[in-house]
Amino acid sequence: MARRRWMRAAAALAGATTVLLAGAACSSEPPPPPARQYTVQFSVTGTPGGTAFGRWVTIGELGSNRQINFSGVPYERTITVPYPPEPKLQAGLVGVQPNSRISCRITVDGQTIVARTISAPGPDVICGP
């Protein structure tokens, strides 16, 4: 009796394996295209001297934001993300002569989406859509 159950189980497993393999081999659907990639470039330039600092973040799909802190100018960072980005950048200078300049720029796929310049010392320069 136990031998019959074992043989039935083995036959059922062999049949299921055959059906699964046949289904996989007969699939004629092409694989999905690769996800669209966006290239984001953050850049900050400014008057040398003093201390430069800042941070940038990409915001897109739920749970996909990433914030990076940096120091020093010039600063440039290029990243690739698989979702339409909403990048933001904040930078400041301290310990510089009056009327020093600091600029930020963000490009997405080679197109500048925002660029700003301010005089320092003063408020941080903020780039974002």
Q: How many CA atoms does the CB half-sphere of 25 hold within 13 Å? A: 6
Residue 100: the pLDDT is 87
pTM: 0.68
31/34 Cα distance (integer angstroms): 9
- In CATH terms, the fold of domain 38-127 is Lipoxygenase-1 (2.60.60)
- Per-residue pLDDT tens for 50-65? 778 888 887 765 555 6
3-state secondary structure (DSSP) of residue 100: strand
The answer to whether the beta carbons of residues 93 and 46 sit under 8 Å apart is yes
Backbone angles phi, psi at 70, to 5 degrees: -145, 165
Domain boundaries, the chain: 38-127
Band (pLDDT 50/70/90 cuts) for residue 115 is very high
What is the C-alpha to C-alpha distance for residues 95 and 27, in angstroms, rounded to an integer?
66
In the block, tokens 């055959």 appear at: 18
